[in-house]
Amino acid sequence: MDVVSLGETMIIFSAEETGQLRYNRNFTSRVAGAETNTLIGLAKLGYQTGWMSRVGKDELGKRILSKIRGEGVDTSFVKEDESAPTGLFLRERTTINSSRVFYYRNQSAASKMVPADMEESYLAKAKFLYLTGITPALSDSCKNTVLHAIELAKKNGQKIVFDPNVRKTLLDDKTGRETLLEIAAKSDIILPGISEGYYLFKSTDCEEIAKECKQLGAEMAIVKLGEKGAYYSTSDTSGYVQPYQVERVIDPIGAGDGFAAGVISGILDEIPIHEAVKRGCAIGAIVTSVDGDIEGLPDKETLEEYMNQTNKEDVIR
């Protein structure tokens, strides 16, 4: 096992028409979850990944399990909860270039995760534990579950990768920030974006954000700069990685999860950090050009072609 993660995956119903949700009649549904997006991204690149969570023992939960397994992620330790439903959320396109989401995840099966759901022998098989700031914001029991998973990871010598992935609708300003900083202080690699850096450290300077992450104890900080690329900082090197140009952004959601998959894959391959971050930028760019969170995640061959620009044909025959 290369990477294990835990968190909530839901079904998203996206309105097909632009405008307020109340006027929409047609929706497209997909499986969506930050942690599983990254795990699927890694699985597509050939790495062994596992997911620990809960889903409702209902049709939506069965759809999620079928999809995640089908994408190559191990779901042996995902529990089907008979007493709570699978979470879902709706997305409206307020304009062509902006959208808004409405969550229906309160008291969901995943929000009822408890520390006992974490199987130490399973976690111990992995090289990395991947976490986001979404899971601890779901409930007190989820927060305790994340902290317990961190304890088990440290006990077994695993590296912890943390993407703050701030969801302000879930976080209390004070306690939410404190929780994310507590997890960041226990992490080895931190992957904040600029807005997340501001939420945590009140700074929009990428070098300052990276410095703050390292002062918490992280050995590596990689700051996502969106269309401007990324900045990385370790104990002995730092630098900027230029972005890949995207002619037309179709759907930016999921780009950060793809970025994380690219960076982690590079670290697993033991390539220079600059190249690992470059890989993350490439996958993030690919994801934005496709509608959906996981639909654009590339396999290794597609990623190499994109990074090397070896195939410029519009149609491959």
Between CA 208 and CA 187 the distance in angstroms is: 18
> 172 catalytic, yes or no?
no
Residue 147's φ and ψ, nearest 5 degrees, are -65, -35
Q: Give the DSSP H or E segment for 310.
A: none
Closest of 85, 74, 161 to residue 122, by C-alpha: 74
| CA–CA dist 262, 34 (Å, integer) | 14
For residue 130, CA distances in Å to 91, 165, 187, 238 come to 26, 12, 10, 22
φ, ψ dihedrals at 143, nearest 5°: -60, -45
- The answer to whether 85 touches 109, Cβ cutoff 8 Å, is yes
Q: 3-class DSSP state for residue 260?
A: helix
Q: Which residues are CB-contacts of 254 (< 8 A; sequence separation ≥ 6)?
A: 32, 37, 287, 292, 293, 294, 296
Give the span between the Cα atoms of 297 and 295, in whole angstroms: 6
Q: Report the candidate in 41, 31, 29 with the shortest Cα–Cα distance to residue 8.
A: 31
Marked catalytic residue, from 2, 117, 163, 257: 257
Give the residue numbers annotated as catalytic, written as ranges: 257
